[in-house]
């Protein structure tokens, strides 16, 4: 592209701290000749508490006009009762994922050389989780009766459509086909969640006929969590539903160097709506304002953004700068901006337009 028009939602807590570094990294990594426009939007818990507004239809429409979205994290103090019930999470983050049909939630996990992991002998770990992003138990299909009584009943009914599952599974097979190991793991719980699980398995079986080079396996999600810890190198591409994907990607982050390194893309592959790139982590109220947040996850999310727009060299250069920084960290503790500076100065050293 000659122009890249990106909306920025820094959000709450450490969101603005890590997003500041991500924006700098984006500016620094872009190849010469690509004109970047960044437009900041003030959405998040802070604005909601001030104005009572989360996001208006007009603002949603304005967001839709951008090429892509860079998001930090949203969600306020969990102790604040005015934010109870996930009002910001559903009203903003999930709203954007649903409105912009981000049916692929792409979450890579690799152990970078030199990175400390809690595993003693992890081997070569390099996988990518393809998490479905617009269905499952996240759709808000359910309710509660007899609230607060001993007879209370609460339901969240997971919605899985053949259409939604198939487009996710096809994306995952394409991803697997493009990777050296060409291996796909379906993660679900089809021994208990038989309706949805059997649909997922049937779709995987059917689509696999179009990908004879891709080897397929199935794991129940509970067993998958064992292998994330005991043998994560067995994974290449993992495809799973919205909730299992949420859970296993925090686990994936923990074993690959921590939540401060885990990047994600909420992708609308058809390009009808802007895709949105964000770290896997949240607003981390426990360390907000202290300059302690690791911006690497946010910067690696910029790598995914660059890849999405076909800026493959810029993406590779920025990723290499992050990996080189990771390799040289040792035990030193640095601030958010010091890590940002270190990664960006590596880009400059590599001769981009930083
Ligand atoms: P969290 O990811 O914010 O924090 C979990 C732990 O990881 C905390 O100890 C935190 O300090 C640490 N951590 C997170 N990011 C870090 C970083 N970059 N560097 C160093 N340490 C980091 O998860 P949580 O505490 O469950 O959620 C806090 C809030 O964020 C909640 O309101 C939640 O709903 C929201 N949330 C938002 C998103 C998002 O915007 N995409 C994602 C997850 C959680
Ligand atoms: C994530 C978060 C969100 C999710 C929450 C904040 C709605 O945990 O991006 O992983 O569950 O998808
Ligand atoms: Mn999560």
Please tell me whether residues 25 and 63 are part of one structural domain. yes
CATH number of the domain that residue 9 is part of: 3.40.718.10
Q: Does residue 112 lie in a domain region?
A: no
Q: Does residue 110 lie in a domain region?
A: no
Instruction: Report helix angle 162-178 to 194-208, nearest 10.
Output: 50
Please tell me whether residues 130 and 223 are part of one structural domain. yes
Query: Distance between the two ends of the chain, CA-based, in angstroms?
Result: 19
Please tell me whether residues 39 and 61 are part of one structural domain. yes
- Going by their DSSP bridges, the two strands 35-41 and 183-188 should be labelled as unpaired
> Candidates 72, 89, 98, 139: which one to mutate for ligand 2, based on the most atoms within 8 Å of Cβ?
89
Q: In which residue are the tokens 């872009």 written?
A: 30
The per-residue pLDDT for range 106-145, each reduced to its tens digit, is 999 999 999 999 999 999 999 999 999 999 999 999 999 9
Please tell me whether residues 205 and 81 are part of one structural domain. no
Name the residue range of residue 42's domain.
Answer: 1-102+269-354
Give the chain's domain count: 2
The pLDDT value given to residue 331: 77
Q: Does residue 264 lie in a domain region?
A: no
- Going by their DSSP bridges, the two strands 142-145 and 126-132 should be labelled as unpaired
Q: Which atom of ligand 1 is nearest to the CA of 86?
A: 34
Catalytic residue among 189, 190, 241, 325: 189
Please tell me whether residues 130 and 226 are part of one structural domain. yes
Q: How far apart are CA 13 and CA 75, in angstroms?
A: 8
Q: Which of 256, 288, 309 corresponds to the end of one domain?
A: 256
Please tell me whether residues 216 and 346 are part of one structural domain. no
Q: Does residue 263 lie in a domain region?
A: no
Q: How far apart are CA 272 and CA 270, in angstroms?
A: 6
Q: Does residue 261 lie in a domain region?
A: no
Please tell me whether residues 18 and 90 are part of one structural domain. yes
Give, in order, the Cα–Cα distances in Å from 143 to each of 151, 186, 225.
Answer: 14, 29, 29
Q: Does residue 262 lie in a domain region?
A: no
- The closest of 347, 309, 307 to 5, measured between CA atoms, is 309
Q: What is the DSSP letter of 103?
A: -
Please tell me whether residues 70 and 182 are part of one structural domain. no
The size of the chain, in residues, is 354
* pLDDT digit string (tens) for the chain, length 354 residues: 899 999 999 999 999 999 999 999 999 999 999 999 999 999 999 999 999 999 999 999 999 999 999 999 999 988 999 999 899 999 999 999 999 999 999 999 999 999 999 999 999 999 999 999 999 999 999 999 999 999 999 999 999 999 999 999 999 999 999 999 999 999 999 999 999 999 999 999 999 999 999 999 999 999 999 999 999 999 999 999 999 999 999 999 999 999 999 999 999 999 999 999 999 999 999 999 999 999 999 999 999 999 999 999 999 999 999 999 999 998 779 999 999 999 999 997 765 444
Q: Residue ranges of the alpha helices (H) in the chain?
A: 15-29, 45-51, 57-64, 87-88, 95-99, 162-178, 194-208, 221-230, 242-255, 296-308, 312-327, 336-349
> Candidates 9, 85, 97, 282: which one to mutate for ligand 2, based on the most atoms within 8 Å of Cβ?
282
Give, in order, the Cα–Cα distances in Å from 119 to each of 125, 264, 337, 352.
Answer: 11, 23, 29, 36
Please tell me whether residues 275 and 340 are part of one structural domain. yes
Please tell me whether residues 96 and 148 are part of one structural domain. no
Q: How many beta carbons lie within 10 A of that of residue 211, not counting itself?
A: 17
Q: Does residue 144 lie in a domain region?
A: yes
Beta carbon of 92 within 6 Å of any ligand 2 atom: no
Q: Which of 256, 283, 308 corresponds to the end of one domain?
A: 256
Please tell me whether residues 142 and 16 are part of one structural domain. no
Q: Which helix (H) or strand (E) holds 104?
A: strand 104-110
Q: What is the pTM of this model?
A: 0.97
Q: Which of 235, 256, 277 corresponds to the end of one domain?
A: 256
- Give the distance (Å) from ligand 1 centre to CA of residue 284: 4
| ipTM for the complex shown | 0.98
Q: What is the DSSP letter of 211?
A: -
The per-residue pLDDT for range 64-96, each reduced to its tens digit, is 999 999 999 999 988 999 999 899 999 999 999
pLDDT > 70 in the chain, percent: 99
- Give the distance (Å) from ligand 2 centre to CA of residue 225: 18
């Amino acid at each position: 592209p000659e122009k890249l028009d990106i909306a920025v939602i820094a959000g709450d807590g450490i969101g603005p701290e890590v997003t500041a570094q991500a924006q700098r990294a984006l500016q620094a990594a872009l190849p010469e000749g690509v004109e970047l426009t960044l437009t900041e939007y003030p959405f998040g818990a802070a604005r909601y508490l001030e104005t009572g507004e989360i996001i208006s239809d007009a603002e949603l429409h304005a967001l839709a006009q951008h090429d892509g979205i860079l998001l930090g994290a949203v969600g306020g103090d969990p102790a604040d009762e005015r934010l109870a019930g996930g009002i910001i999470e559903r009203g903003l983050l999930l709203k954007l994922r649903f409105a912009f049909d981000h049916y692929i939630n792409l979450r890579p996990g690799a152990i970078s050389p030199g990175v400390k992991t809690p595993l003693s002998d992890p081997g070569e770990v390099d996988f990518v989780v393809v998490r479905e992003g617009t269905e499952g138990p996240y759709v808000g299909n359910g309710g509660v009766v007899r609230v607060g009584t001993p007879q209370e009943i609460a339901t969240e009914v997971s919605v899985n459509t053949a259409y939604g599952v198939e487009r996710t599974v096809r994306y995952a097979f394409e991803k697997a086909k493009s990777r050296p190991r060409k291996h796909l793991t379906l993660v679900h719980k089809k021994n208990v969640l038989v309706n949805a699980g059997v649909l997922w398995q049937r779709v995987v079986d059917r689509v696999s006929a179009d990908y004879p080079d891709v080897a397929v396996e199935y794991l129940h999600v509970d067993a998958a969590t064992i292998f994330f810890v005991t043998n994560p190198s067995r994974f290449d591409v993992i495809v799973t539903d919205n909730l299992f994907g949420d859970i296993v990607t925090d686990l994936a982050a923990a074993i690959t160097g921590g939540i401060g390194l885990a990047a994600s893309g909420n992708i609308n592959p058809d390009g009808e709506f802007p895709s949105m790139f964000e770290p896997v982590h949240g607003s981390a109220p426990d360390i907000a304002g202290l300059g302690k947040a690791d911006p690497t996850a946010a910067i690696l999310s910029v790598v995914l953004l660059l890849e999405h727009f076909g800026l493959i060299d810029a993406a590779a250069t920025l990723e290499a700068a992050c990996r080189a920084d990771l390799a040289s960290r040792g035990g030193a503790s640095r601030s958010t901006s010091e890590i940002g500076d270190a990664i960006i100065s590596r880009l400059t050293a590599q001769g981009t337009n930083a």
